[in-house]
Amino acid sequence: MVRINENYLKLKAGYLFPEIARRVKAFTDVNPDAPIIKLGIGDVTEPLPAACREAMQQAIVELGDRSTFRGYGPEQGYAWLREKIARYDFQMRGCEIDASEVFVSDGSKCDTGNILDIFGKDNAIAVFDPVYPVYVDTNVMAGHTGIADEGGKYGGLIYIPITAENDFTATIPERKVDLIYLCFPNNPTGAVATKEHLRAWVDYARTNDALILFDSAYEAFISDDSLPHSIYEIPGARHCAIEFRSFSKNAGFTGVRCAYAIVPKSLKAKVSDGTDVKIWALWNRRQSTKFNGVSYVVQRGAEAAYSEAGRQQIQALVGFYLENARIVREQLAAAGLSVYGGVHAPYIWIKTPDGMTSWDFFDKLLNKAYVVGTPGSGFGAAGEGYFRISAFNSRENVETAMQRVTEMFRVG
Ligand code: MLT
């Protein structure tokens, strides 16, 4: 009989978003005419930037001609895309990142999970609470944790609470950890990190020989340019951080699929015999064995995100969602809710009213306003009593949803 990876049995029921979809389906089966508006999963709704579409169309034409046809591409990504990424996203912001340190991939969710392939089982791993569930679940799958307690916390993981009481900025742990997941702008709270905050993490990581896994998938939403867009804006981060970026939330590639990881060549990890090994070399080996690269067509689309037109179109797209976020923030605050985030992020994090649990509030919003959000407790125990609203939707849907929610609070 085949044996399974029993770590999977430790996982809690369902991944958060499929669980929400299941509950919404159960509701619509009984109420087929309810005009549901989904502000739950952070999935984009607006069309792809024209520059990206045109580049992909052109790439398809090339693939239809023997002289310009391409088969397998480089596993790490085409050099013309990696060079643009290094230049526009890092070097132009003063970060010392080379194109050879860019690994193009099909998503940050995949990258943040896959990166665990190259790390051992005995690392002390810290995550925020609430947290993007992928960081936790992939560690469970990899056997890095014990079982979950009643509050849903897995043994062996170090949870760092972020709540309104600490202004959604995690306190640097007193104990030594080896791997730390940071996500800024933060999913789910919408909080953003200052340079001082990131500097404190980089100092901590360097003092403790720790590695930061920095997820900046929402970087494009930072609307104050004095805030850091990359961890590499902090001196020393090349020696203690891997950064994950995505084209999903800026260029709308959630369905197209393209992202990248920065793995600096200066990063080292310890072998049990005491010698050092380059993390870059391990990741390169992992990717060239298990991954065949992102399609040529998609990489051409991603490259166009850096053209003059592409950059303008992406700015407009991000601006559109940020305006949605402003509407949500202001309307919910006017309805009397405590509202956080949504200024440098597409997520608005609210305190549930009257001490309601996150799932009770989910049910109320679904039943009374036909609006779907994400229960804070789905992101971790410290998310209980909070609720996330995503700004990814059409203007009309966001406005209608907010009218319905405001009305729901008015009538009680
Ligand atoms: C979310 O809603 O948190 C996002 O969809 C996460 C993701 O991009 O995987």
From residue 399, alpha-carbon distances to 4, 330, 372, 394 in Å are 48, 11, 14, 9
In total, the chain counts a number of residues equal to 412
Which pLDDT belongs to residue 65?
98
Is 8 among the annotated ligand-binding positions?
no
248 annotated to bind ligand:
yes
Provide the pLDDT confidence category of residue 16 given band limits of 50, 70 and 90: confident
Residue 317 Cα to ligand 1 midpoint, Å, equals 18
- Ligand 1 nearest-atom number relative to CA 249: 8
Whether 166 shows a pLDDT value over 90: the answer reads no
Judged against a pLDDT cut of 90, whether residue 170 lies above it is answered with: no
Tens digits of residue pLDDT in 116-163: 999 999 999 999 999 999 999 999 999 999 999 888 899 999 999 998
Mutation pick for ligand 1 pocket among 15, 38, 41 (CB with most ligand atoms within 8 Å): 41
What the block records as the tokens of 194 is 């200052």
In the predicted structure, residue 69 carries a pLDDT above the cut 90: yes
Domain boundaries defined on the chain: 6-47+309-411, 71-307
Banded pLDDT at 215 (limits 50, 70, 90): very high
Q: Distance from the CA of 68 to the center of ligand 1, in angstroms?
A: 36
Phi/psi at 37 (5° precision):
-120, 125
Which of ligand 1's atoms lies nearest the C-alpha of 248?
Answer: 8
Q: Which residues of 243-263 are buried (b: 16+ CB within 10 A; e: fewer)?
A: bbbbbbbbbbbbebbbbbbbb
Whether residue 347 is annotated as binding a ligand: the answer is no
Tell me which of 110, 136, 187 to substitute to probe ligand 1's pocket, judged by most ligand atoms within 8 Å of the beta carbon.
187
Residue 278 annotated as binding site:
no
- What mean pLDDT is reported for the chain? 95
The token duo for 366 is 């679904």
The response to whether 388 counts as a known ligand-binding position is yes
What pLDDT sits at residue 171?
A: 82
Q: What are the tens digits of pLDDT across the range 339-377? A: 999 999 999 999 999 999 999 999 999 999 999 999 999
Report the predicted TM-score, pTM, of the whole model to 2 decimal places.
0.96
pLDDT of residue 168: 86
pLDDT over 80 (residue 412)? no
* Residue 240 confidence (pLDDT) above 90: yes
Same CATH topology for 6-47+309-411 and 71-307: the answer is no
Question: What spacing in Å lies between the alpha carbon of 17 and ligand 1's midpoint?
Answer: 8
The answer to whether 42 is annotated as binding is: yes
| 368 token code pair | 């009374």
Q: How far is the CA of 44 from the centre of ligand 1 (A)?
A: 10
Ligand 1 contacts (CB < 6 A) are 41-43, 109, 187
Does 272 show up as a binding residue in the annotation? no
CA distance 278 to 117: 15
The protein residue with its alpha carbon nearest to ligand 1, atom 8, reads 42
Using CA positions, which residue lies closest to atom 9 of ligand 1? 109
247 in a known ligand binding site: yes
The pLDDT-based confidence of 15 (bands split at 50, 70, 90) is low
Architecture of the CATH domain 6-47+309-411: Alpha-Beta Complex (3.90)
Q: Out of 150-164, 188-202, 253-267, 299-313, pick the least confident.
A: 150-164
CB-CB contact of 343 with 223 (8 Å): yes
Q: Indicate if the alpha-carbon torsion angle 323, 47, 301, 290 is positive or negative.
A: positive
- Say how many C-beta atoms besides its own lie within 10 A of residue 85's C-beta: 25
- Residue 257: per-residue pLDDT: 98
Residue 175 has pLDDT above 70, yes or no: yes
Share in percent of the chain as helix, strand, coil (round to 5):
45, 15, 40
At residue 189, the pLDDT reads 97
At residue 14 the predicted structure's pLDDT band, cuts being 50, 70 and 90, is: low
Compute the distance from residue 43 Cα to the ligand 1 centre, in Å.
Answer: 7
Distances (CA, A) of 247 to 47, 232, 251, 253, 373: 14, 19, 5, 5, 23
User: Has the ipTM of the complex gone over 0.90?
Assistant: yes
Tell me the per-residue pLDDT of 269-296, one tens digit each, with 9 for 90 and over. 999 999 999 999 999 999 999 999 999 9
Distance CA 292, CA 277 (A): 24
Residues 228-233, mean pLDDT to the nearest whole number: 98
Pick the closest to residue 191 from 172, 207, 169, 206 (CA basis).
169
Atom of ligand 1 nearest to the CA of 374: 2
Looking at the DSSP bridge assignments, the partners of residue 387 are 350, 375
CB atoms within 10 A of CB 384: 18
Q: What is the pLDDT of residue 28?
A: 95
Q: Which CATH class is domain 71-307?
A: alpha beta
The alpha carbon of 165 and the centre of ligand 1 are apart by a number of angstroms equal to 25
Report the residue among 17, 112, 389 best suited for mutation to probe ligand 1: largest number of ligand atoms under 8 A from its CB.
Answer: 17
- Is the pLDDT assigned to residue 207 strictly greater than 70? yes
* Per-residue pLDDT, 18: 81
